[in-house]
Amino acid sequence: MIVDVNVHLSRWPFRRLACDELPRLIEKLQAGGVDQAWAASFDAVFHKDVAAVNSRLAADCRKTRPGMLLPFGTVNPTLPDWREDVRRCHEEHKMPGVRLYPGYHGYALDAPELAELLTMAEERGLVVQVVVRLEDTRMQHPLMRVEDVDPKPLAELVAARPKLRVVVLNALKGVRAGVLAALVAAGQVYFEISMLEGVEGIANLLGQVPAERLLFGSHLPMFVLESALLKLQESELTAAQIEAITHGNAERLLNG
C-alpha cells in the first residue's frame, strides 16, 4: 500500500504536464500502486478566489473511488476572508487538512496571520502542509521567480502548538540539516521524499530525520511518479521502514 501525500490537480500555467488531466493522473497513480493521494490544486497557487478553487477540488476528488483522492484545500492568510476558507475546508468540504504556499502568496513563516492560522488548524484537528518550493529555480519563468520558503521559523510555531500536525513539502533538496533537526525536535513535523536527491538518499537522510517522520510523496504531475518509487528501491531499507514511509506514517498522521 502507498499513500502519496504530495499531488496536485489541474494545470500548471507555464507548461503542460504529462498527467495534468484527472483521468490520466488517476491512471498513473493506480499503475504505480498508489492507493491514496493527498491532493491540492495548482489553481490555488495563482487564483484569488480560493474558495471556488477549493470547491472544485472537493468536487474533482469525489469523482474518484472513495478514499482515492483526499482534498487538501488551500488557505491564503494574506486574503481578507481566509478564516472563512479554513472553516469551509473543515466544515463544508470535510477536508482532513490544508496546503499553504507562502512563497507564492507572499508571506514569511513568521507572519502573525500564519500563527493564527496554525492555531485554528490545531483546534480543528487539521493537518497543515507547507510548500517550500514548487519548481527548481532553473525551470521558473523569468518573470515569475519565486524563492524557496525558509522553514526555520516553523520550529517555534510548532513547539508552541503540541497537537499541531505539519507536513513540509518539497523541502529535502535545500534545507540545512540543522533546520531539519530543529523541526523534528519541535513536534509533529513530517517530510516527504519527492525532492530528495543522491545515491541511497533515504538511507542517508535517516541520520537526520527518523523513518517515523518520513512520508511518500511524488510531486505528481510536476515530477514523474517513478522517481519517488525508485527512491524506495535504491536505498537499503528494512521492511518496517518501507511500510512506515509508504503508508504507516501517513495513516497515523491522518488519524491524529
24-80 residue pLDDT tens: 999 999 999 999 999 999 999 999 999 999 999 999 999 999 999 999 999 999 999
pLDDT digits (tens, 9 = 90+) for 80-123: 999 999 999 999 999 999 999 999 999 999 999 999 999 999 99
Distance set, CA 22 to CA 50, 125, 154 (Å):
20, 28, 33
Provide the domain count of the chain: 1
The two beta strands, 165-169 and 97-100, are: unpaired
Predicted confidence at residue 140, as pLDDT, reads 79
The residue behind cell 491540492 is 40
Domain of residue 231, residue span:
3-254
- Which DSSP state fits 126? -
pLDDT digits (tens, 9 = 90+) for 196-220: 998 899 999 999 999 999 999 999 9
Q: Is the distance from CB of 113 to CB of 77 less than 8 angstroms?
A: yes
Vertex 102: Cα angle to 26 and 155 (nearest 5): 105
CATH of the domain at 141: 3.20.20.140
Amino acid at 100: L
Predicted confidence at residue 138, as pLDDT, reads 80
The tally of CA atoms less than 13 A away on the side-chain side of residue 242 is 13
- Neighbouring residues of 244: CB distance < 8 A, sequence distance ≥ 6: 211, 212, 214
Backbone angles phi and psi of 95, in degrees to 5: -80, 145
